[in-house]
Chains A and B, each alone.
Chain A
């Protein structure tokens, strides 16, 4: 497939639950080699969008192309080339970290020896090798997130789809994950991430899109944003922030 095709191209994407449209006519293009931030307030449709991109939720309408291939038609081929950190835990509690990474590697098509070797290296990189026989059930929240991230990189994907990847991770772990992702982008990979920490997005990303109530309200490069007088936070609050009601809660 041509390298000139965008990493992600969605058009008219729509997802309806009952009578409510969680995502409503989203059209978005993410070029290859880009660090892309996908922002929005809680319930805006970010996670639903990622779930549609990775094939967990079929769209009600619209088309999705990932790395030049159509989702869901080429789902298996696409999944071989993407790394995923979903919003909730996808770990198997009764495995150790090493066993889970080896499992993930083999599921992505690595031979056992390679999966095992990479698993050991990733555990060391993510500082998870202190207690090798510890089961995931006994991991802290931050450790679980780091392990999920490690599983997402084990097969050297071309595209990362990350939903709140730094949530619950300590400063050291988060720094290491950011460095790793930045290095991947330098090497040609694409990162598509959601985060509520706007400073992080502003520092890491080349471009951002803001979604609110299922609709895209902004798509711009960070450079363009910086050219104006507003910070990303100012822009975000202006576009999605509603009237603050705290003044009405006299009892608080």
Chain B
């Protein structure tokens, strides 16, 4: 008996839901609790942002709405399209290899993919819902207007995200093109940064945002949602949505026909070349240690260097970082420029966190079994993983310094010491928390995927909720420097931070080791999980 297309979509979503539940059950209880707590806090914050936007939209005058609403919707679009790229997490995707063997139509797959784009930016859906509710309560706005306008705008963003994602996925699967794409994205991100630093030309601002010219989708959606210039703005938004639909279908179809195997085969020879080049250097680094530490460090260095996902993130650390924080060099004076290397290094550490601190065993996947079947204490495995992470942090910070030299950021011995030391302190706190998180909440990761599949929000949870905790000791050092007007005070507090970090590490690591030994079945079970019909990692 044949089944309808909607049944197939339901079957895919049901299989994914079951896989999701199984994965949730695979992790430890504490890991699940922490993840759930983070989820609640993160989306709670965004719900608050949505509620604030709603309160504003409910009480704003038509004049105020005409100014602020386009900005709000531009922010929504920017977050939706850019946040996944900036955080290197493109959101969940259909596992084409698993689904293409079934008689599922392209239309079905496309439909699921469009729905999945919401996963990359659940946060802005909360904001849009807040705005819609607020506008509905605003007596100056016709009641029929907000919901259709914002729904259409959501469709536009979903479709645009499908097209962008499909295009990026293919480009990032191609050797060499991948690095060019990353640099191109850096360039694109640089434009708003330069504008922020130099100020946006008034004419451009008017062109992008004013009510009188609903040329761009955010301006058109804002007008339509407020019930102004209905015909023009509706036509404009419909045209943009139709364009986004054509673009997304075109790109999605190309992705379906994309010969990943061919790209993989061409990648194989270049990987072999990389293996040859790194084969000489890495043993020199690991020779500083004894086996089994040296063997594990060597293995980790080789494996990470050859993982496209790690390489892309590593490059982003010193390119994106340098660009994103560029305005500091212009706007904050000499002191602001002096902390620029520290800030860029910190940002690079945040990007690297998911790969080198937060989930040590993600790339090992089922191979992590070896750490329990070989005659090596698990404590040594964690120490080796931390040392390998430390080596990459040191290299990343060194490259950041070189970038600073190239762009003529003033670098004295004091700034260099400050940057390395701050990075070291951040790393030691991250390692302490990361050892626990790697054991309590392990997730398998595919090194072939240049970009993560989780929601961009998860990286931002780390960025906004966890990382600031590690920044408190650093902040205290800067506070001491400010209060006593003394670099000595700064370094004294930093020395104390280092000591506290070492104590934290000494407490956290044995606890992580004990948890791994105790819960090794769940730990290995979680790492050995394969994905469902939709890839979320």
**Residues of A with Cβ closer than 8 Å to B?**
54-58, 76-77, 79-80, 84, 86, 88-96, 99, 102-104, 106-109, 111-112, 131, 133-135, 137-138
Contact = CB atoms under 8 A, between A and B. Distances in A.
B24 to A, nearest CB: 16
A81 to B, nearest CB: 9
A138 B268 contact: yes
Q: Which 7 A-B pairs have the closest CB atoms?
A: A133-B272, A106-B295, A94-B303, A79-B375, A80-B375, A94-B306, A107-B374
Given A55-B372, A133-B272, A103 B364 contact: no
A88 B524 CA distance: 12
Contacts of B366: 88-90
B416 interface: no
A135 B292 CA distance: 22
Contacts, number: 101
Given A103-B298, A106-B291, A106-B294, A92 B275 contact: no
Interface string B363-386: 110110110111111000000000
A104 B299 CA distance: 10
Interface string B267-311: 010011101100100000000000110111011001110110000
A109 B375 contact: yes
B434 interface: no
A121 B302 CA distance: 22
Contacts of A90: 366-367, 369-370, 373
Contacts of A134: 268, 272
A99 B377 contact: no
A103 B376 CA distance: 12
A241 to B, nearest CB: 30
Assign chain B's interface to a size class.
35 or more
Contact of B367 (A91, A112, A133): A91
A76 B375 contact: yes
A117 B374 CA distance: 20
B374 A79 contact: yes
A103 B299 contact: yes
Contacts of A80: 375
B372 A56 contact: yes
A108 B524 contact: no
A94 B363 contact: yes
A58 B306 CA distance: 35
Given A79-B375, A103-B296, A135-B268, 5 more contacts: A88-B366, A92-B367, A94-B307, A94-B363, A107-B375
Contacts of A138: 264, 268, 271
Given A56-B521, A93-B447, A107-B295, A99 B302 contact: yes
Contacts of B264: 138
B521 A58 contact: yes
B369 A86 contact: yes
B28 interface: no
A112 B218 CA distance: 62
A84 B373 contact: yes
B291 A112 contact: yes
A56 B447 CA distance: 25
A89 B292 contact: no
Nearest to A80: B375
A133 B306 CA distance: 12
Nearest to B446: A93
Contacts of B369: 56, 86, 88, 90
B299 A95 contact: yes
B302 A95 contact: yes
A103 B373 contact: no
Contacts of B521: 56-58
B253 interface: no
B520 interface: yes
A91 B373 CA distance: 12
B27 interface: no
B528 interface: yes
Candidate in B279, B299, B524, B528 with the most chain A CB atoms within 10 angstroms = B299
A8 B302 CA distance: 37
A54 B373 contact: yes
Given A56-B521, A138-B268, A95 B372 contact: no
Interface in B10-50: none
A135 B273 CA distance: 11
Nearest to A54: B373
A138 B209 CA distance: 51
Contacts of B377: 76
B345 to A, nearest CB: 26
17 contacts: A56-B524, A57-B520, A79-B373, A79-B375, A89-B366, A92-B299, A94-B302, A99-B299, A102-B295, A106-B295, A107-B295, A107-B370, A108-B375, A109-B291, A112-B291, A134-B268, A138-B268
